[in-house]
Structure 1
């Protein structure tokens, strides 16, 4: 289990307060651990006293901690407020963000299309907050321009109109939590099958011992395997 640690240090009864964090973006399900030391301590979340389920506890006479598993609702501004015996009050704040995903769910990573048909390649992405999706091939982003034969549709699928042999290859669905450097990528293979042309030639030779010749010519992509049965 990966933990998020927020440590608040005070030196002296009225020293400057500061919060030190390992990171401020927390994946849903990870632990949030906030430590506050010195003074008579209270915790607030977005300006309101924390609820009992936040698991605030006193570690000793000078320390307190807030500990729980992160949910999307834990994105907030947290305040550690200290009241000192001298009557001085001080506080420090830290804003935490939470996220979930991106996740590709059951997105298929292999597609076969017949040459000349229209190919549709889905990319099913979920995540919170919003997820931005981009398609790439050979590190070049695929356009959303409606006039392009190969384009990125509004529902995040990839459309290949009139599939050609050169469309075969690996495409990348790139998903990123909006406004944050949290990225996942999924490689998807596309195979193009060509139309097959058959030519069968039968040659018969009359005689006591008749010879029969069958010739089968097949053209297509990928190269087919030919077998004979009787």
Structure 2
């Protein structure tokens, strides 16, 4: 009877527990050619058996076929997929027969994926201008990615759909390729569902025939024995061969330079030195590569003498002439080196000469009041050109200078006086010095000083509060000028003690501070008088307050109170 009850109890306990079958994980992604394991578990009972089914409903028998491996126990079954292929994707079903005889089911969704892969892309492709260029690219992945060709982050099919075409195999065709198509292109594979992207670059190089950039200078002039340098710049891919040709013969260049920033830019330099007439003429730069050639020319011509200078002008002084001129209308196609200036007295036949690189020169050490002839010629590398017509001019006579002027900047500075000199007419003779004499107006003797030509001079150690007379004259080699008279007065000494009458306030005006102090003093006296009157009449005021609280005196009220208290006590 005991064993029967125990058996029934265990039976009811088994019936009371829920049986559950689960597969972990419920969905899984497997990368192509990788392996993955999923586990089917039973809870609440033991399993008599497990059975797996592939997406087509075909049983996967234990232990498996190598591609699928099944391993089971009383409570779980493990399914392992090796070398996963895209055909392995789908829903896999696990069935378990439990002790009760029932069959439980659970499923897992397996998806085989592959990351985006970009291949079959050439790093560099060369195409000749005018041909069709094809860029290959293969993009793989699961699910199948989309393939896009971009340049500078722009979809080329959208920027120029007729010029670019994408083939069914993903290759990009560039129709009638030009120099502007050169650059970097990207083949981009994208799986939008996983926001996955991969790309590879290919560089397109476009080969073209040479393009002439510049032949400089277009024309150059020189003279026998002098070298000139000409250059030729070409742009091309592939690189060019540059040949200089003169009179049908090739010439060696002195240098060939490739631009560091743009290797397709090449320049060649040729030095031409003229020794004989056959060296003049055309020099041709011929640049060629396998796609074509280009040439440009420059001419080397004999230079000419410059024409006469323009606007020759002569400004006379007593012993000098200032000559100025303008550039000639023609420099003879050569660099202008300078000017030759010649002069002579009217009574002489020999010319004196000087050279200058500027358009102005001074001629010195000339005779005053004399007639001179002056002529100017321009010079370049070939030589001296013709002289311009001579200019006849007379030097000025010498005399004393005009009285010197004094600038309004002249001023008194304490017990000093600063004089700023003007610039008077020097009488056709340079001013050598300024003569200054000065004295107090009340004095009879003059103080004298001479200063070299300068802009200013300072008279120092003058008496304070004193009027002065100053006379100024300019002197050149001929004589001194008439004098210019100036009156000025020095100020009071700011550091001397005040006079007695000033200290007593006699004759000296009061300042703002003094007036303010006097007013405040009057108010203070009035205040003291009123407060004292208040104290003696009404026993009030500030004086009473000070006496009581500071000096400890008793106020009138306190004294009367004490007296009253004393009377009361006596009574």
Q: TM-score, normalised by structure 1?
A: 0.70
Aligned counterparts of 1:199 and 1:225: Cα–Cα separation in 2: 9
Indicate yes or no: 2:34 matched with 1:30.
yes
Which has more helix, going by share of residues?
2
Cα pair distance change 1:160/1:103, threshold 3 Å: same
| Runs (5+) with no aligned partner, structure 2 | 1-16, 212-240, 269-571
The residue aligned with 1:109 is: 123
Indicate yes or no: 2:80 matched with 1:67.
yes
The residue aligned with 2:154 is: 140
Do the aligned residues in 2 keep the contact of 1:201 with 1:214 (CA within 8 Å)? Answer: yes
Encode CA deviations 1:9-38: one digit per residue, 9 max, x unaligned.
xxx7523735426x7332221112111222
Cα pair distance change 1:82/1:181, threshold 3 Å: farther
Indicate yes or no: 2:167 matched with 1:167.
no
Encode CA deviations 1:111-160: one digit per residue, 9 max, x unaligned.
12233332111113455664532212222223289951123223311111
Do the aligned residues in 2 keep the contact of 1:118 with 1:162 (CA within 8 Å)? Answer: yes
Do the aligned residues in 2 keep the contact of 1:35 with 1:66 (CA within 8 Å)? Answer: yes
Aligned counterparts of 2:111 and 2:37: Cα–Cα separation in 1: 14
Cα pair distance change 1:94/1:155, threshold 3 Å: same
Aligned equivalent of 1:17, options 18, 22, 26: 22
The residue aligned with 1:49 is: 59
Question: Larger RCO: Structure 1 or Structure 2 (Cα < 8 Å, ≥ 6 residues apart)?
Answer: 1
| Runs (5+) with no aligned partner, structure 1 | 1-11, 205-211
Q: State the secondary structure of the residue aligned to 1:166.
A: helix
Aligned counterparts of 2:137 and 2:79: Cα–Cα separation in 1: 39
Do the aligned residues in 1 keep the contact of 2:118 with 2:138 (CA within 8 Å)? Answer: yes
Cα pair distance change 1:139/1:145, threshold 3 Å: closer
The residue aligned with 1:223 is: 265
Aligned counterparts of 2:80 and 2:33: Cα–Cα separation in 1: 12
Aligned counterparts of 1:19 and 1:193: Cα–Cα separation in 2: 61
Q: State the secondary structure of the residue aligned to 2:51.
A: strand
Aligned equivalent of 1:149, options 157, 160, 163: 163
Which has more strand, going by share of residues?
1
Q: TM-score, normalised by structure 2?
A: 0.31
Aligned counterparts of 1:141 and 1:14: Cα–Cα separation in 2: 58
Cα pair distance change 1:155/1:146, threshold 3 Å: farther
Higher-Rg member (1/2): 2
Aligned counterparts of 1:98 and 1:169: Cα–Cα separation in 2: 38
Aligned counterparts of 1:104 and 1:131: Cα–Cα separation in 2: 10
Q: State the secondary structure of the residue aligned to 2:169.
A: coil
Count of aligned residue pairs for this structure pair: 206
Indicate yes or no: 2:190 matched with 1:185.
no
Do the aligned residues in 2 keep the contact of 1:79 with 1:93 (CA within 8 Å)? Answer: yes
Give the root-mean-square deviation of aligned CA atoms. Answer: 3.6
Q: State the secondary structure of the residue aligned to 1:134.
A: strand
